[in-house]
């Protein structure tokens, strides 16, 4: 065809990149996950969001309680080890 080797390699690389990009785009568009099932299909989006926030806050409180108990137990064990002869 009259092209140099470097020019052919460059065009091949560009074509390969473009083909991979298009393939990934089509695959990603075809694999849209379904929305998560709600407990009640009649539940409004606002109510679902409120429930999610309430669960998030409760989980945060539980983890804070666990962390404070760990610190408290550690301090108790240190105090008891100091008292032992």
More confident residue, 82 or 65: 65
Number of domains into which the chain is organized: 2
Strands (DSSP E) found in the chain = none
Confidence of residue 6 (pLDDT cuts 50, 70, 90): very high
Residue 75: its pLDDT value, please? Answer: 62
pLDDT at residue 7, rounded to an integer: 93
Q: Is the same domain home to 53 and 28?
A: no
Query: Is the CB of residue 48 less than 8 Å from the CB of residue 38?
Result: yes
Q: Each residue of 19-60: pLDDT tens digit?
A: 999 998 888 777 777 777 656 567 788 888 888 888 888 887
- Are 8 and 46 found together in one domain? no
Q: Are 18 and 28 in contact (CB under 8 A)?
A: no
Indicate whether 7 and 43 sit together in one domain.
no
């Amino acid at each position: 065809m009259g092209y140099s080797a470097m020019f052919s390699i460059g065009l091949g690389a560009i074509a390969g990149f473009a083909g991979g990009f298009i393939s990934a785009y089509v695959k990603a568009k075809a694999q849209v996950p379904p929305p998560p099932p709600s407990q009640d299909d009649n539940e409004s989006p606002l109510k679902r969001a409120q429930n999610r926030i309430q669960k998030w806050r409760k989980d945060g409180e539980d983890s804070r309680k666990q962390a404070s108990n760990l610190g408290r137990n550690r301090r108790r064990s240190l105090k008891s080890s100091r008292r032992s002869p």
